[in-house]
């Protein structure tokens, strides 16, 4: 299996790098970072994102009939990788919700939501987790009752990242009140300006002090979202009623495939390697320690496994294969690698690695300490690793469902 990039791929990467060097100023970078606290996009950030869209990079692999470029998933990987490395910016995949709409939506939904997602007129947040069940979607209680040609929604979601900036929510609800577990769930595409929706901020551990921009999972804010007799047209239903588990599962698997997941895993490894090479007196002492060198090499190899797992998934998608458990497998290995890496780095660097941003003695603005705070988050985001293991066992290995 050849994972080498073609000449065309390398040309795309070079053009993106040149664009970033010319247009991603410190002011633009700061404006992009500030959107996460609910201030919205500034004119500078909007202009930067518009230039990306004009070049076709914001939907590089999406079908041309909906405004995409129709290029390969490898091209999408390159776009995602370069912009995430440069600014922590998600570009190339279009954001949560869109992959599921392409896979399960009606033609009318695709015509409405995909071009809007490319232009950033439509921004999705993901309404899955709830206070009573966390990321266990089988325990969802938020309900939507069918009334004529509408759904009436009541309930609550929690840990809804970017709800404060989103135009729509990709909402998992229970449409059959008598159902249990994954049966009776449906997905609704709900406008966030619908009457009865309330967004309330939840400030994260990365909020005070603010995590540096290069931190993995640096979001200072997530949200609670409340639904009080929210009425939406039945045309908001994505897929069939009661089939929400399959619709969401397909969308989550597609969302997991890409450079961002791989980079979440390996940028921690790159941080410690770069520090040991260029970090002054402390790094010189550490990099000459054989045990440190062995551990860093081990982490680096694990990071390359993350990359190869991502490339395997991209290859399956690119060649029309049956993509079943591979995204779940990535979601097990990569987050657990992140936990191992951040813990090992903290042990390597000692007490100074525990100092957060703002401390005069913090290493690299406290990025290693903030990475450690965010590492365990990735083991539960978009489904816990325990749930993902069950998916691998059943779909990848053909094992029977676990008995309760």
Whether residue 217 is contained in a domain is answered as: yes
Are 388 and 265 in a shared domain? yes
- In this structure, is residue 403 part of a structural domain? no
* CA–CA gap between residue 313 and residue 258 (Å, rounded): 8
With respect to residue 105, please indicate whether it lies within any of the assigned structural domains.
no
**% of residues, the chain, pLDDT over 70:** 92
38-52, 155-169, 200-214, 359-373: range with lowest mean pLDDT: 38-52
129 shares its domain with 227: yes
Regarding whether 363 and 235 lie in a shared domain, the answer is no
Domains held by the chain: number: 3
Q: 147 and 230 in one domain?
A: yes
Interval 77-91: pLDDT, tens: 899 899 988 888 878
Average of pLDDT values for 133-140? 74
pLDDT digits (tens, 9 = 90+) for 88-104: 887 876 555 777 898 88
What pTM did the predictor assign?
0.84
Backbone angles phi, psi at 99, to 5 degrees: -60, -40
**CA distance to 95, 126, 248, 324, per residue, from 91 (Å):** 8, 17, 21, 24
Mean pLDDT across the stretch 25-44?
74
pLDDT of residue 253: 58
Residue at which a domain ends, from 243, 267, 302:
243
302-343 per-position pLDDT tens digit: 998 988 888 888 888 777 777 778 878 888 888 899 899 999
Which pLDDT score, from 0 to 100, does residue 39 have?
A: 55
Residue with the larger pLDDT of the pair 18 and 219:
18
- pLDDT band of residue 32 (cuts 50, 70, 90) is confident
Task: Evaluate whether residue 323 is within a structural domain.
Answer: yes
First to last CA, the chain: 40
Q: Measuring CA to CA, which residue among 331, 329, 310, 325 is closest to residue 378?
A: 331
215 and 280 belong to one structural domain: no
Mean pLDDT for 152-180 is 91
Per-residue tokens: 396: 């990848």
| 226 occurs within a structural domain | yes
- Same domain for 343 and 266, yes or no, is yes
Containing structural domain, residue 198 = 124-243
Q: What is the pLDDT of residues 215-261, one digit of tens each?
A: 888 888 899 999 999 999 999 999 999 888 888 877 665 555 667 77
Q: What is the pLDDT of residue 110?
A: 93
- For residues 282 and 349, the answer to whether their CB atoms sit within 8 Å is yes
Supply the pLDDT for residue 95. 55
Q: Are residues 225 and 290 in the same domain?
A: no
Same domain? For 311 and 391 the reply is yes
How much of the chain, in percent, has pLDDT values that exceed 90? 35
pLDDT in tens, 336-391: 998 999 999 999 999 988 999 999 989 889 999 999 988 888 787 767 888 888 88
Mean of the per-residue pLDDT values for the chain? 86
């Amino acid at each position: 299996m050849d994972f080498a990039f073609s000449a065309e791929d390398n040309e795309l990467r070079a053009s993106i790098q040149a664009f970033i060097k010319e247009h991603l100023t410190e002011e633009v970078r700061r404006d992009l970072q500030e959107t996460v606290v609910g201030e919205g996009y500034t004119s500078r950030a909007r202009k930067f994102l518009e230039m990306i869209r004009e070049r076709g990079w914001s939907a590089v692999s999406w079908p041309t009939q909906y405004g995409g470029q129709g290029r390969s998933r490898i091209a999408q990987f390159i776009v995602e990788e370069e912009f995430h490395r440069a600014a922590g910016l998600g570009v190339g995949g279009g954001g949560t919700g869109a992959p599921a709409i392409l896979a399960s939506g009606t033609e009318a939904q695709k015509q409405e939501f995909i071009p809007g997602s490319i232009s950033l007129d439509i921004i999705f947040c993901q309404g899955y987790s709830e206070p009573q069940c966390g990321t266990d979607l089988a325990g969802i209680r938020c309900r939507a009752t069918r009334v004529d040609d509408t759904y009436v929604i009541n309930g609550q979601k929690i840990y809804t990242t970017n709800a404060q900036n989103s135009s729509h929510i990709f909402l998992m609800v229970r449409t059959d009140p008598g159902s249990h577990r994954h049966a009776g769930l449906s997905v609704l595409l709900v406008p966030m300006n619908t009457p009865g929706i309330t967004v309330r901020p939840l400030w994260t551990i990365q909020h005070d002090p603010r995590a540096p921009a290069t931190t993995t999972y640096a979001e200072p804010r997530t949200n609670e979202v409340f639904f009080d007799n929210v009425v939406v047209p039945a045309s908001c239903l994505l897929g069939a009623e009661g089939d929400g588990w399959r619709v969401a599962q397909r969308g989550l698997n597609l969302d997991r495939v890409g450079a961002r997941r791989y980079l979440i895993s390996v940028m921690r490894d790159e941080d410690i390697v770069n520090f040991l090479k260029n970090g002054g007196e402390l790094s010189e002492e550490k990099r000459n320690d054989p045990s440190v060198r062995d551990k860093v090499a081990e982490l680096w190899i694990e990071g390359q496994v993350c990359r190869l797992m991502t490339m395997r998934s991209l290859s399956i998608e690119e060649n029309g294969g049956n993509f079943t458990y591979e995204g779940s497998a990535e979601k097990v290995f990569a987050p657990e690698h992140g936990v191992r890496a951040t813990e090992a780095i903290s042990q390597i660097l000692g007490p100074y690695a525990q100092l957060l941003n703002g401390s005069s003695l913090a290493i690299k603005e406290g990025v290693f300490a903030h990475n450690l705070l965010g590492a365990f988050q990735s083991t539960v985001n978009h489904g816990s690793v325990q749930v993902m293991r069950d998916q691998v066992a059943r779909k990848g290995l053909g094992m029977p469902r676990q008995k309760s």
